[in-house]
Amino acid sequence: MELNYTGKISEFMQRIGASHYIIPVISKNYLQSRNCMYEVLQMEKHAKLHDRIFPIVLEDAQLYEDGKRGEYVNYWYEEMQKLDAEIKRFPTMAYKNSFVEELSLYSDIHRMIGDFMNLIKNMNNLTTQIHEESGFRQLMLEIDKRIATELHHGNP
C-alpha cells in the first residue's frame, strides 16, 4: 500500500483500516499521534480486528503498565479540553467548523483508546528483541498461517 505525493492521508489510512493484515508498530508516539489514532479508528470500523492485527509493541509504549494506559486515556482527554478551549476563543462559527470536526475526532479517540490498548495488551506479543533476533520469523509465520486458513475456508 502506497501514499503518493499529494495523496490524501485520510484515504490512505482508511485503506489501511480495511486491510486484511495490519502490522502497527506501537510506541508512545504512536499512541499520542492524531494520525495514528485515526488509523486505529479506521481499523476498528471493520470486523474482527483481533484477527487482522499483528502488533509490534515497543518498550516505550509501556502498555503492560496499568498506570501508563491510564495516562494515554488522560492524554486524549486533555487534548480534547485544549481544543475545546481554543474553539471557544473564536467569535463566529465560520472559524470553528474545522476545529469542531477535529474535536469530534479527539472524542472518538478518547472513547476507543482504552479498548484498543486492552486488545493489544491481551495478545501474546513478542518482545522487539525476539522479533529482531529472529528476523521477524514468528510474525511472518503467523501471517502465512492466517492466509492459509483463510484460503482453506474460501475467505481471501
At 47 the pLDDT is: 83
Q: What is the pLDDT of residue 156?
A: 56
Stated pTM of the model: 0.87
User: Hey, where are the domains in the chain?
Assistant: 9-125
**Per-residue pLDDT for the chain (156 aa), expressed as one digit of tens each?**
788 888 888 888 888 888 889 999 999 999 999 999 999 999 999 888 998 999 999 999 999 988 899 999 999 999 999 999 988 887 776 667 778 889 999 999 999 999 999 999 999 998 899 999 999 999 999 999 988 988 887 765
Pairs from 126-131 (Cβ < 8 Å, separation ≥ 24): 127/59, 128/56, 128/57, 128/58, 128/59, 131/56
Determine the 3-state secondary structure of 53 from DSSP.
strand
Contact 61, 30 (CB under 8 A): yes
Q: What is the pLDDT of residue 104?
A: 93
Cα separation of 81 and 66, whole Å?
23
